[in-house]
Amino acid sequence: MKFVNFRGLPRRPQNGWREIRQSHALKAVLSAAGGIVGVVFAAIAGESAVAADAGTGACRIMEEAGTRYTVCSFDPSADTIRVYDFGPDGQAYGGFSSLAAQLWKERRTLRFATNGGMYHDDLSPVGLFVEYGIERKAISTRSGYGNFHLKPNGVFYIKGKTAGVMETARYQASQITPDFATQSGPMLVMSGKLHPKFLADSDSFKRRNGVGVDAEGKVHFVISEGTVRFHDFATFFRDRLGCADALYLDGTISSLYAPEMGRNDRLFPMGPIIAVSDLIR
């Protein structure tokens, strides 16, 4: 998600779109567009004929209360999960294709990727960003507007062969020194409880994506294929996927790279990216 225009489009996208300043009218258009984009993505992926809870690889389609979700699950003890933003040339990857090209140079193939947190105009992360044990951006505890600041927010991290999701204050108190980490918000689920500000009867429906970790330590990435309330999205993580802790990643710009599902979303430029890759042997 673009930090300044929380529900709008980025001001300086790499594909040359003109700057679009957010207005009340644009908010309404994007809200409606969220559902349309989900349908378009599903059609592109050839998912229209896939039954609920179908899939044989890391990714599958699941359905809950009339909403379809693409769920991709990985084991950090066996799968290489990393977070990325800027390449060796100092330029933001901005999308899956650029990241895949760089990984190929490193003799790795991109297996899965999704947008990994909110970002500024230059595609740099809004909050904490750790790469190969180096803190590239400090954790943010300040208050402000938008979903990132709908506290509590939190951190998704990788440490060795384990992964976790923690609320920001808890993460700071833990003194974890992660290998990779990205901060986003709000938290969806915390120790089995939904975010206290989520309403079961909310009229805010958006396309959303997030990440959670279950009791066995598996990481679940979820993207809704239609619009959904925060409350329902968080409930899906907790009740269907068994995630006691889960973190929201973004809304309208939610994107997925999953070759096994025929997905390579590229409608929006991206800041941080969470990816799974395999070594070429």
Residue pair 264/223 in contact (Cβ under 8 Å)? The answer is no
Question: What does pLDDT average to over the chain?
Answer: 85
What is the 3-class SS of the chain, one letter each residue?
A: CECCCCCCCCCCCCCCCCCCCCCHHHHHHHHHHHHHHHHHHHHHCCCCCCCCCECCCCEEEEEECCEEEEEEEECCCCCEEEEECECCCCCECCCHHHHHHHHHHCCEEEEEEEECCCECCCCCECCCEEECCEEEECCCCCCCCCHHHCCCCEEEEEECCEEEEEEHHHHHHHCCCCCEEEEECCEEEECCEECCCCCCCCCCCECCEEEEEECCCCEEEEEECCCECHHHHHHHHHHHCCEEEEEEEECCCCCEEEHHHCEECCCCCCCCEEEEEEECC
Q: Give me the pLDDT at residue 56, please.
A: 54
Mean pLDDT of 222-239: 98
Mean pLDDT of 66-71: 97
**Segment 136-174, tens digit of pLDDT:** 999 999 999 989 999 999 999 999 999 999 999 999 999
Res 190 pLDDT > 70: yes
Side chain identity, residue 62? M
Q: Give me the pLDDT at residue 55, please.
A: 55
Kindly report which listed range (5-19, 35-49, 213-227, 254-268) carries the lowest average pLDDT score. 5-19
The DSSP bridge partners found for residue 109 are 278
Res 45 pLDDT > 70: no
Res 47 pLDDT > 60: no
**Segment 80-111, tens digit of pLDDT:** 999 999 999 999 999 999 999 999 999 999 99
**Segment 260-270, tens digit of pLDDT:** 999 999 989 99
